[in-house]
Chain A
């Protein structure tokens, strides 16, 4: 059609689409006018009025026929045809509600699972971070054995900043500046982040209100200013637009509010931040020889500079900075540059891909099932299709009709799937709130719904194409059932594929479940039952001096001891598992008569300050020697208790009891200590990590170290809620605004298994769905096979075949492609298991027992699914069967 035609025809087409009724009325009026004129003309010629009124419509060849011809001339529009197809398709579906329901539910399962998982992994894998050009943002620094995340020493950072090389700009924040308090009326504890002045501009973020930090704000002695998070602005300042310029008191000092951050702002570390404050680094006081301060550094790469190039460009600086690293550590440090996304998702990435892959596998299984259902149905509709083809429907027209039907099914399934996804997502979050990075943020937003729509359409095409390509055989016009031999192969291949997919899912789920089971049965080295813990943090502004801190803990200990019947109470400055604990290098532990290692750190050794009842409260066994006693807390005593692992490492083949050791920390040389006992190993670094060697020193309650964070542990047979209430009232008795966090030890340990549990539960769910779908698929295909061959079976039985023989024949048919599917599945599982390796704990990826179990389960399910129709086949009555057609 030439473009000019549109000018004339488009309004008409639109009218014929939307103004159908009006068009009909006009046609009616046009023809009525014609008839009146014609009648008048005949009468004028001298015809009788009665005859004239009869003759006029006859000339037209019938009024209705003419109308129809006119409408035909307008042509059915594309949309008309779609509408017609849709109505037809919905009639066809409504005619077979059973088929429609099963197909829809199957699809809903596939689409729902995929959508729910997508909503979870989208934020880990695909969705851009909330910064402009986030692909150019990197985290960089030095990687060292004692810290899992790369960091920068402040003096090195300043040196590097003078020549930023591959970076357009670089910025930093001071870690650990977390707790801060607004100390006016309604005091509240907040999370404050200390950042460099160009922090926001490097990330590409602008305050929605007020201004960004300037270099002036970042000077060491500058007047203190703050940027509020959107949440804090709303909750504490009620979204007041005139908040800038207001002074608040933070940790007892006045701070001026200069702006408000956007609602979408998040820290690149994903940490909480209610307020941003300048870190006010005193650059003049920095010394490369004595680095005290650690920074987290971020940068924006220059356009077209890759991460590898950036890392290479940092080498000259790094080699230079190595001069300041003690020689024995040099081999263990390296430069690390990685994308911000990598830093944020870390080890969630593999899990996310595995789950996403599994969900897509489930979707494919669902599509295969529906394709099979449609194929079976296509056979029963052969006659209808043949009639339509004979009446002039073109191949393309039939294809479109078939695709419309499958897309309608997909749309219904997709709608149900979205609902299912919503529920599944709730389940995911409740199963394991910490199971995946950003899981809490996951929701069914526009993007996820768009994904759901796309998935529905794609799956509609996927399962719709094969049946749609069916070419109606002319013989079926005669009413004969034509054997679908060619597509029988397709059906069997599809089911075999399903079986293969299920095997892969089953093995994957089995591996994860087994790994989870192993993790959960790891001996922690401590008892979690009836143990309640309380975490206390002393705000630096309220307890600035050591004597005040000591006084607080003295008072606390005394009060807790007075609570009757509370059981065992212990104090410590850190608590397993996975909490941060103080640590030193193995190499820095000195033992008389043992040479210091020439190079290397020897790994990390953790240590805790504990009161004597600590071991009893947590049920940590003292293997040899004794635990601490009250006398050990006197200033003159310096006992130490080492873990079995440390003992073996320090004194191989010797009795460590009575031996001495001393260790140096960053700033002090400790006293010589005598080993009085050996404690059982405790899993400190989480369940999957090896137990780190550690030692214990007594909590003396004198001026040994600043104890900002303390833990109280109770072993009590009382109800935890009662214990919490008592302890809380005691602590508020000392300090009414002291923040305390209570947790049971069970909950603390439970957190460690959340991620593996999340992966395992989801994958098991998918494997379960996969097996059910495969069973349905096999059942469907075998039933069809039997119904197609009823006549043949009848003949066979009439010729003397036994029911057992018939069953065997059917089952043999099933066995062929089931075994094929299982074989392919085992091969696939072998390959896929490798991808899972990094998620596994003490389980080999290629576990023959698990592969065998998956094989047995699948074969059993296949046999059961085939058995029902096979039995039906065996019961065929030859007489009925022979009269079948």
Chain B
């Protein structure tokens, strides 16, 4: 399960966990929500969304169950597990440290 950990890839897990922390959602709804909340800045292709979800489930951070949607269709809904919540906190902290560090670097004035 070694995948190149570029920035988007590394943050995608965190984004997904964060979105699912708010409410359980199905795959399509997650993709819609991603677009909404980031103002379409973060374009996550559908092709990479599903493998990411399956990976999170395999890690035990999210769990899936089949529910009926409002228009009466069966869909797979993902929700956060306690383990996933812990993971989210950890990744969020890391992210904040990284973000702060980067913004400090960016703010350095050329002298």
Contact = CB atoms under 8 A, between A and B. Distances in A.
A276 to B, nearest CB: 65
Contacts of B1: 73, 75
A885 interface: no
A61 interface: yes
Contacts of A71: 54
B28 interface: yes
Contacts of B52: 73
A31 B26 contact: no
A560 B21 CA distance: 109
Interface stretch (B55-63, B88-96, B101-109): B55-63
Nearest to A37: B28
Given A9-B59, A73-B54, A75-B1, A62 B26 contact: no
Nearest to B60: A8
Contacts of A480: none
A338 interface: no
A669 interface: no
B58 A12 contact: yes
A72 interface: yes
A4 B83 CA distance: 8
A69 B51 contact: yes
A74 interface: yes
B58 A75 contact: yes
B4 interface: no
A66 interface: yes
Interface residues of A, number: 29
28 contacts: A5-B59, A5-B60, A7-B60, A8-B63, A9-B59, A12-B57, A26-B66, A29-B76, A30-B50, A31-B50, A33-B26, A33-B28, A33-B74, A33-B75, A34-B27, A38-B28, A38-B46, A60-B45, A60-B47, A60-B50, A61-B46, A61-B47, A66-B46, A66-B47, A66-B51, A69-B48, A74-B54, A75-B58
Interface in A50-95: 59-62, 65-66, 69-75
B45 A26 contact: no
B73 A70 contact: no
Given A9-B60, A73-B51, A30 B46 contact: no
Contacts of A36: 73
A5 B58 CA distance: 10
Nearest to A36: B73
Contacts of B47: 59-62, 65-66, 69
Contacts of B31: 34
Contacts of B76: 26, 29-30, 33
A685 B50 CA distance: 88
Contacts of B48: 61, 69
A538 B47 CA distance: 99
Interface of A: 4-5, 7-9, 12, 26, 29-31, 33-34, 36-38, 41, 59-62, 65-66, 69-75
Interface string B64-104: 00100000011110000101000000000000000000000
B74 A29 contact: yes
A66 B58 contact: no
A584 B28 CA distance: 106
Given A33-B27, A33-B73, A73-B1, A5 B54 contact: no
B17 to A, nearest CB: 14
Contacts of B57: 12
B80 to A, nearest CB: 11
A239 to B, nearest CB: 58
Contacts of B81: 8
A9 B1 CA distance: 16
A26 B66 CA distance: 9
Interface residues of B, number: 27
A83 to B, nearest CB: 19
Contact of A74 (B28, B58, B63, B66): B58
A40 to B, nearest CB: 9
A38 B63 CA distance: 23
A33 B72 CA distance: 12
Contacts of A37: 28
Given A8-B60, A9-B60, A70-B51, A60 B46 contact: yes
Contacts of B60: 5, 7-9, 12
Nearest to B75: A33
B83 A59 contact: no
Contacts of A5: 59-60, 83
A763 to B, nearest CB: 57
Nearest to B69: A33
A34 B46 contact: yes
B27 A30 contact: yes
A65 B51 CA distance: 10
A31 B26 CA distance: 11
B83 A61 contact: no
Interface in B1-41: 1, 26-28, 31-32
Contacts of A61: 45-48
Nearest to A31: B50
Contacts of A72: 51
Contacts of A60: 45-47, 50
Nearest 9 A-B pairs (CB), nearest first? A61-B47, A8-B60, A37-B28, A69-B51, A73-B55, A73-B54, A70-B54, A9-B60, A59-B46
A4 to B, nearest CB: 6
B66 to A, nearest CB: 8
Contacts of A26: 66, 76
Contacts of B66: 26
A246 B58 CA distance: 71
A66 B28 contact: no
Q: Pick the most buried of A31, A65, A71: most chain B CB atoms within 10 A of its CB.
A: A31
Contacts of A59: 45-47
B78 to A, nearest CB: 10
B28 A34 contact: yes
A9 B58 contact: yes
B92 to A, nearest CB: 19
Contacts of A33: 26-28, 73-76
Contacts of A9: 58-60
Contacts of B46: 34, 38, 59-61, 66
A66 B76 CA distance: 16
A4 B45 CA distance: 32
Q: Pick the most buried of A30, A33, A66: most chain B CB atoms within 10 A of its CB.
A: A30
A17 to B, nearest CB: 13
A117 B57 CA distance: 54
B82 to A, nearest CB: 8
Given A30-B76, A69-B48, 20 more contacts: A5-B59, A8-B60, A9-B58, A12-B58, A26-B66, A29-B74, A29-B76, A30-B75, A33-B73, A34-B31, A34-B50, A41-B32, A59-B46, A59-B47, A66-B46, A66-B50, A70-B51, A72-B51, A73-B51, A73-B54
A8 B45 CA distance: 27
A9 B58 CA distance: 6
A141 B2 CA distance: 74
Contacts of B51: 66, 69-70, 72-73
A568 B105 CA distance: 123
Nearest to B81: A8
A30 B66 CA distance: 9
Contacts of A4: 83
